[in-house]
Amino acid sequence: MNHIKKIISILSPLTLLFIWELLARTGIIDTRLLSSPSLVLKAFIPLLLSGDLLYNTWISVQRVLWGFIAGSVPGILLGISMGLSPIVRSIFEPLLSATYPIPKLALMPLILLVFGLGETSKIFTIAIGVFYLVVINTMAGVLNIDKIYLDVATNFGAGRKNFYLTVALPGALPMIFAGLKLGMGMALILIVAAEMSAAKAGVGWMIWRAYDMFDIEQMFVALITLSVLGYIFSLLLDFLEARVLPWKQKT
């Protein structure tokens, strides 16, 4: 069964590429606007050999990772605190509910005014998007822990540190990882917007530069690179989850 799943996971994107190429060659889609896999491949090889693609990818990966860490760590800590303490939840939940619907892209002008045009503004843009998803999922994970575990910890005189490390954190881990996976997806979305302003490198910068130059093939190379990064990060989080939560059954 696992072999069949692996084969299907490989055939699925290949089938999509085949259909895309077929539509392009038969003239059903306009290659001037949507290009084709063969044309994208021709543009990909020079970008790869010149080192431009690897350099820009590495710049974006660094920004995504720093933003992801900066958003997920406080998100986990605050989420656990909100789940354990009704007082903390009463303080922060209205603020989160009020600010979460604000589009993160709408905050870009304010972020640029506060942090400037350097790396900090780009990292903060990613971090704020990751933070909300992680804190909400973490709080939900703690609130869903069976009350009997909390009662047992209380009866044994567990301190605040023990509540965090031996009850709340392990019990909320499945939801925490769900939030981390959503947060990583958000980070890859926001990196394009973050690199739109005053960036001189990055995959997002490649997309905007290709758009300005109407270089459709290079734009698709950058977009596919982002999708590959998303897949790799997803695999890494799945691998980490399997090590941290060995009891969780995969379907």
Residue 37's pLDDT is 87
Instruction: Indicate if 7 and 39 belong to the same structural domain.
Output: no
The pTM score is: 0.85
| pLDDT value of position 160 | 66
Regions in the chain scoring below 70 on pLDDT: 1-3, 5-6, 9-10, 148-166, 198, 247-251
Provide the domain limits for residue 95. Answer: 35-244
Say how far apart CA 36 and CA 2 lie, in whole Å: 32
**3 shares a domain with 96:** no
In a domain, 88, yes or no: yes
Predicted local distance difference test score (pLDDT) of residue 208: 86
Cα dihedral 39, 44, 50, 56 sign: positive
Statement to judge: residues 68 and 99 lie in one domain: yes
Q: Which pLDDT does position 159 carry in this prediction? A: 62
Rounded Cα gap, residues 192 and 54, in angstroms = 16
Residues 105 and 22 in one domain: no
Amino acid 184: pLDDT? 93
**Residue 23 sits in the same domain as residue 128:** no
Nearest to 194 by CA among 184, 185, 203: 203
Average pLDDT, the chain: 85
Measured CA to CA, the distance from residue 172 to residue 76 in angstroms comes to 10
Q: Residues 89, 4: one domain?
A: no
In a domain, 250, yes or no: no
Q: How many domains does the chain have?
A: 2
Q: Is residue 251 part of a domain?
A: no
